[in-house]
Amino acid sequence: MERKPLIAGNWKMHLSIEEAVQLASSLADCCRGGLDDREVMVAPPYTSVAAVVKALKGSPIQVAGQNVCWEKEGAFTGEISPVMLKEAGTTMVILGHSERRHIFGEGDELINRRLQGALAFDLTPILCVGETLDEREQGATFDVLERQVTKGLQNVAAIDAAEVVIAYEPVWAIGTGKTASNDQAQEAHKFIRGVLAALYEKTLADKIRILYGGSVKPDNIDSLMAEPDIDGALVGGAALKFESFDRIIHYKI
């Protein structure tokens, strides 16, 4: 298995351009020259992307968009194109985040279109999936995960699927301080890997990185990363402060 862990910070709708540059510069200083066994990414709001890319120049930290349209250009008010994101210096993009799904009504088909657009323009998609508390309590977790993974990857060929990163983010754990237990997270990740193996094949599923997201903090990252199917983290709140994200980047198992 060659899965290089990925620690990703999702800055959501936080930080001014100045604050974003400050945080990026501190991260660049701490990561210069020392990250061979893991990848690090941050996803700032669009207005800060170019400035953050500049601040991270020469460091191994990558920058991602928080969403993307499938078209190169056109009449799509409020959207951002994959070409624009690439021009600004991003290499990855977060898709289907639970806030996009539940606050802005994005569904599996739309998310699949976005994912195909990202792949067509060589941006690594991070496809977020995860059940709500209601769905978990009704015993529907696996059905939801299977549907979101399958529909999110509809018509995606194996060669492209190999580039995709999945993020398991149980909605009830996002921003609540309630992390999934290591067992709950591992169980979901293993299930998702099984879905990927059924859609493609086991060797491919074994190469796809599955990140955990939902109240990841300095004090739970080490034990989460020790689980065999957890290949990294998608961090919200704790990615906004240098000290906490720095500790998460430098997790120890």
Residues that bind ligand 13P (CB under 6 A): 10, 97, 169, 174-175, 213-216, 234-238
Q: Which is nearer to ligand 13P, 41 or 238 (CB)?
A: 238
SS (H, E, C) the chain: CCCCCEEEEECCCCCCHHHHHHHHHHHHHHHCCCCCCCEEEEECCHHHHHHHHHHCCCCCCEEEECCCCCCCCCCCCCCCCHHHHHHCCCCEEEECCHHHHHCCCCCHHHHHHHHHHHHHCCCEEEEEECCCHHHHHCCCHHHHHHHHHHHHCCCCCHHHHCCCEEEECCHHHCCCCCCCCHHHHHHHHHHHHHHHHHHCCHHHHCCCCEEEECCCCCCCHHHHHCCCCCCEEEECHHHCCHHHHHHHHCCCC
Our CB check for ligand 13P shows the closer of 186 and 200 to be 186
State the nearest-atom distance from the C-beta of 176 to ligand 13P, in Å: 7
Encoding tokens for residue 125? 């998609």
Q: Which of 39, 97, 106, 189 is catalytic?
A: 97
Please, what is the minimum distance in Å from the beta carbon of residue 241 to ligand 13P?
11
Closer residue to ligand 13P (CB): 200 or 212: 212
Specify the amino acid at residue 15. Answer: L
The smaller minimum CB distance to ligand 13P, of residues 7 and 161, is found at 7
Q: Give yes or no for a contact between 93 and 130, defined as CB atoms under 8 angstroms apart.
A: no
Which residues on neighbouring strands pair with residue 94, listed in sequence order? Answer: 126
Nearer to ligand 13P, 200 or 224 (CB): 224
Respond yes or no: is residue 97 known to be catalytic: yes
Residues in the chain: 253
**What's the min distance (Å) between Cβ of 75 and ligand 13P?**
29
Quote the least distance from Cβ 118 to ligand 13P, whole Å: 16
Closest distance of CB 182 from ligand 13P, Å: 16
Question: Which of 106, 131, 169, 189 does the annotation list as catalytic?
Answer: 169
CB atoms within 10 A of CB 58: 9
Q: How far is the CB of 92 from ligand 13P (least distance, A)?
A: 13
- In the complex with ligand 13P, the residue whose CB is nearer, 66 or 81, is 66
Check: CB of residue 126 under 8 Å from CB of residue 92: yes
Which residue's beta carbon is nearest to the bound ligand 13P?
236
Active site residues: 97, 169
